[in-house]
Structure 1
Amino acid sequence: MDTFLAVAFSFPTVIFSVLLCVAIVYWLISLVGLGDIEADGDIDASGDFSGLMVTLGLQGVPLPLVLTLLFLCSWLVSYFTVLLWGALVPAGFLYWLFGFAVLAAALIISVLVTAMLVRPLRPLFRRAYLPPLQKRIIGTACVVISATVTETKGRAEAVLDGAHLVLQVRSHTPLSHRERAVLIEHIPDKNAWWVVPESEFLAGDSAG
C-alpha cells in the first residue's frame, strides 16, 4: 500500500490521480441523482476543440465518458511506468525530465487506446441520443416515385443515414414523377410529410 500511494501521488502520476478522482466523484454524484449526466451523443462539429476530438477519433460518445477513459488510461500508463522504472532514474533534473517524458507518453497512448475503446460504443450512444425520425428528416431532399403528388396523395423516396425511405407525401404545388422536392413538415394524423419543390425551397419560398 505504501508503494502504491507513493507512486500514485508522485510526479507525474499525481496529475492523473487528481483528474481520475475528479471523474470518479462526478460519476458518483451523477449516480445518486445530484448531477446531470445527460450529454450529447456526439460532439458539436463546430469549434477547434470539437474538430480536434473528431481528428483524434474521440467523437460519438458523451464527453464525460471520453475524459474518464482518457484519465484512466493515462493513470495506468504513468503509474506502471513510474513503478517499474522510476526508481532507476536519479533524483533531480533527470527525474523531472523522465516525468515529463512519461506525462507525454501517457497522454499519447491514452488517446490511442481511448479512440479504440469508444469505437464500439458509438452505435449505442447514437441510438440513445438519435432524434426522432420526424425531426431528423425535415429539410431532407426526396424524389417523387408516384405518378403525381397532390394535397391528398403521393409518394416519394428519401435517403437518410444511408437508408432509402419510401414516404407518403403531400404538396400544395402539384409534382410529377421523378421531380425533386424537400420535406418541410410532418403530418401526424396521416403519417405523411408536406413537401415543396426543391427549386422553391432553395429559393427560400417554402412558406406556402
Structure 2
Amino acid sequence: MDLFWGIFFSFPVVIFSGLVTICVLYWLVASIGVLTVDCLDIDFDIDVKQLSTDNPASGFSGLLMKLGFNEVPMTLVITLIALFGWSICYFSFRFFMIPISHYALIYYLLGLIIFITAFIAAVYLTAFTIKPLRPIFSKLNTANSHQSLLGQTVEIRSSTVSETKGEATYEDGGAGLILQVRCNESYQFKRGDKAILLSYDKTNNSYEIISLDEFNG
C-alpha cells in the first residue's frame, strides 16, 4: 500500500491522480442531484453549420467532433481520459521510473515524456471506448431534447419553486431526469406537486412551469 500511495503522489502520476480525484468527487455530487451529467457539455452549433457547407470544422472543437466526443457527455469523456491516463502513468512509473528516481534530470524528462504519451493514448482509448455508446446517447439526446419536453408533466422535487430556484423530476421511462424549474411568485408549488413545462430558458438552463389546473383550463 505504501508503494501505491508513493506512486500515486509522484510525478507525472500525480497530475492524473488529481484529475481522477476531481472526477470521483464530481460523480458523487452528481449522484445526489446537485450537478447534472451534461453540465460541461460544449455547444457545437457553429461547427455543424461549417460542416453543412462542406467546410470541415477546425481547432479544438473540430478535434472533439472528429473523435466523437461531442456525442456523449463531456464529463464521461474527461473521466475516461483521467482513468486511462492514470493507469498508463501508474504502470509506466512502476516499471520504468523507480530505478532512475535518484537522477533528477532524467527522472523529470522521462516523466514528461510518459505524461504526454499517456495523455495522447488516453484520448484515443477514450474515443475507442465511447464509440459503441455514441448511438445510445444520440437517441437519448433526441428523445429528451428541450423542445420535446415542453408540455410534459413533472413532479416538484424541491421544497419550493421561485423565479430563481427550484427542481423537478421528469419520468422518462428510465432513471428519470432532474430539471431546473422556475415560476413567478403567483404560484405556490411545494414538494410532490405536479406541474407542466411551459418554456425553456437556455441562458439559465431552466424551464418555466405552470400548474396543471391553469394548463388544462
Partner AA of 1:4 in structure 2: F
In structure 2, distance between residues paired with 1:74 and 1:86: 16
**Which residue does 1:81 correspond to in 2?**
92
Q: Any idea what SS the aligned residue of 2:69 has?
A: coil
Q: Does 1:94 align with 2:106?
A: yes
In structure 1, distance between residues paired with 2:2 and 2:118: 23
RMSD: 2.4
**8 A Cα contact 1:73 1:113, kept in partner:** yes
Question: 1:81 deviation in Å?
Answer: 0.4
Q: 1:19 to 1:41 in 2, by over 3 A?
A: closer
Structure 1 segment 35-50 matched on structure 2, within 5 A:
35-39=35-39, 44-46=44-46, 48-50=59-61
Partner AA of 1:11 in structure 2: F
Q: Any idea what SS the aligned residue of 2:72 has?
A: coil
**8 A Cα contact 2:38 2:74, kept in partner:** no
In structure 2, distance between residues paired with 1:30 and 1:94: 41
Q: Any idea what SS the aligned residue of 1:88 has?
A: helix
TM-score (ref. length: structure 1): 0.59
**Which residue does 1:199 correspond to in 2?**
none
In structure 1, distance between residues paired with 2:139 and 2:80: 21
Unaligned 5+ residue runs, structure 2?
Answer: 48-58, 149-217
Higher strand share: 1
**Which residue does 1:9 correspond to in 2?**
9
Question: 1:59 deviation in Å?
Answer: 2.8
**8 A Cα contact 2:68 2:134, kept in partner:** no
**Which residue does 1:147 correspond to in 2?**
none
Structure 1 segment 1-208 matched on structure 2, within 5 A:
1-39=1-39, 44-46=44-46, 48-89=59-100, 90-130=102-142
Question: 1:108 deviation in Å?
Answer: 1.0
Question: 1:131 deviation in Å?
Answer: 5.0
**8 A Cα contact 2:89 2:118, kept in partner:** yes
In structure 2, distance between residues paired with 1:132 and 1:6: 45
Partner AA of 1:51 in structure 2: G
Q: Deviations over 1:27-63 (max 9, x none)?
A: 1000011222245988615363321211334331010
Partner AA of 1:124 in structure 2: I
User: Structure 1: which 4+ aligned runs deviate by more than 4 Å?
Assistant: 39-43
In structure 1, distance between residues paired with 2:43 and 2:79: 16
In structure 1, distance between residues paired with 2:8 and 2:40: 32
Give the fraction of aligned pairs with identical amino acids, expressed as a percent: 33
Q: Deviations over 1:48-102 (max 9, x none)?
A: 3321211334331010000000011000000010011111224211000010001
**8 A Cα contact 1:41 1:126, kept in partner:** no
TM-score (ref. length: structure 2): 0.57
Unaligned 5+ residue runs, structure 1?
Answer: 137-208
In structure 2, distance between residues paired with 1:4 and 1:66: 25
Partner AA of 1:6 in structure 2: G
Query: Which structure's CA Rg is the greater one?
Result: 1
Bigger drift between 123-132 and 66-75 goes to 123-132
